[in-house]
Amino acid sequence: MDAARGALPDDIDALKAVLLVERAKALEVAAELAVARAKASEDVALIAQQKLRIAKLERQVYGQRSERSARLVDQLALAFEELEAGATEDELTAEGKTDTGRCWIYLRDDKPFGGTGPPAAMFYYSRDRRGEHPQTHLAGYAGILQADAYDGYNKLYLPTRSPGPILEAACWVHARRRSMSLPGGGGGPAYWP
């Protein structure tokens, strides 16, 4: 270490030049790492896709052996979708062309419940996922909201909220993901009776 210190120039401008070279090398290494991570994510997503295809083909060839196998195929499909989304995010990050943002999507279709209003969809964008965003988007709404268990929605469910509380209709997909595991995954029980 002392020999390396002795090799450094004493001139401030020369030190700045060395520092700039080292920073450039560090940026190159970081870019290579991001590309490698993107490739690894893509490979994992491809493996999951192939496992899903195999499971579906086995089901077609051998028939539905049990309800459990149908649930496992559905789980493989969910796992693949999540891995594919993660791989896409990693690829965009590796290209250095992206910034994480959020798209808030609110849907309405009351016809199955006797409503007369037309179906509708609203899309909002934000740079983060702070709870203030859904509170602003739904400031004038009172009714039912089906959403995930994100804590940012909690203020919407308060009884003192104006114009009235929103009734939470929980998303069961998230509960299912935590309670079921793929074979060999070592998570929770294989199914919920």
Q: Are 175 and 185 in contact (CB under 8 A)?
A: no
Neighbour-count burial of 92, counting CB atoms closer than 10 A to its CB (0-12 exposed, 13-18 middle, 19+ buried):
middle
- Which pLDDT tens digit goes with each residue over 56-86? 777 676 666 655 566 677 777 777 777 777 7
What pLDDT was estimated at residue 175?
56
The DSSP code for 188 is: S
The DSSP code for 118 is: P
Within 8 A by CB and 6+ apart from 166, the residues are 138, 141, 142, 143, 144, 145, 156, 157
What pLDDT was estimated at residue 191?
41
- Which pLDDT tens digit goes with each residue over 151-162? 889 999 999 999
- Which pLDDT tens digit goes with each residue over 104-134? 888 888 888 888 888 888 888 887 888 899 9
**Whole-prediction pTM:** 0.43
Can you read off the two tokens belonging to residue 116? Answer: 């007369």
Residue ranges per structural domain of the chain: 9-98, 102-176
Could you tell me the pLDDT band of residue 1, with boundaries at 50, 70 and 90?
Answer: very low
**What amino acid is encoded at 136 in this protein?**
T
Question: Which of 44-58, 82-96, 124-138 reaches the highest mean pLDDT?
Answer: 124-138
Cis, peptide link before residue 159, omega less than 30° from 0: no
Taking alpha carbons only, the member of 182, 180, 158 closest to residue 168 is 158
